[in-house]
Amino acid sequence: MDCPPNPLPDLANMFLFQDVHRDSLSDLLDQCEHTALEGGDVLLAPGTRNHNLYLVLAGKLGVHLDDVDNPAVTHLLPGQCVGEMSLIDEQDTSAYVVAAEPSRLLTISRDTLWLLIERSHTLARNLLAILTGRVRQGNELIVRGMEREKILSAHANQDPLTGLQNRRSLMANLAGMVERARQGGGLLSLVMIDVDHFKKYNDTHGHPAGDAALQAVAVTLNSHLRGHDIAARYGGEEFVVLLPDTTVAAARKTAERLREAVAATAIRQEGQPLPGVTASFGLAHLEAPQDGDALLATADAALYRAKLAGRNCVTE
Q: Catalytic amino acids?
A: 237
Sign of CA dihedral 58, 59, 60, 61: negative
Q: Taking CA 82 as the corner, what is the angle to CA 77 and CA 87, rounded to the nearest 5 degrees?
A: 170
Task: Using CA atoms of 78, 79, 80, 86 in order, give the dihedral in degrees to the nearest 10.
Answer: 110
For the chain, the first-to-last Cα distance in angstroms comes to 79
Rounded to whole angstroms, the Cα distance separating 274 from 283 reads 29
Strand order in the sheet with 314-315: 230-235, 238-244, 188-195, 279-285, 314-315
Is there a contact between 267 and 169 (Cβ–Cβ < 8 Å)? no
Rounded to whole angstroms, the Cα distance separating 82 from 105 reads 10
Strand partners, 233: 239
Alpha helices, H only, 158-291 = 167-184, 198-205, 207-223, 248-263
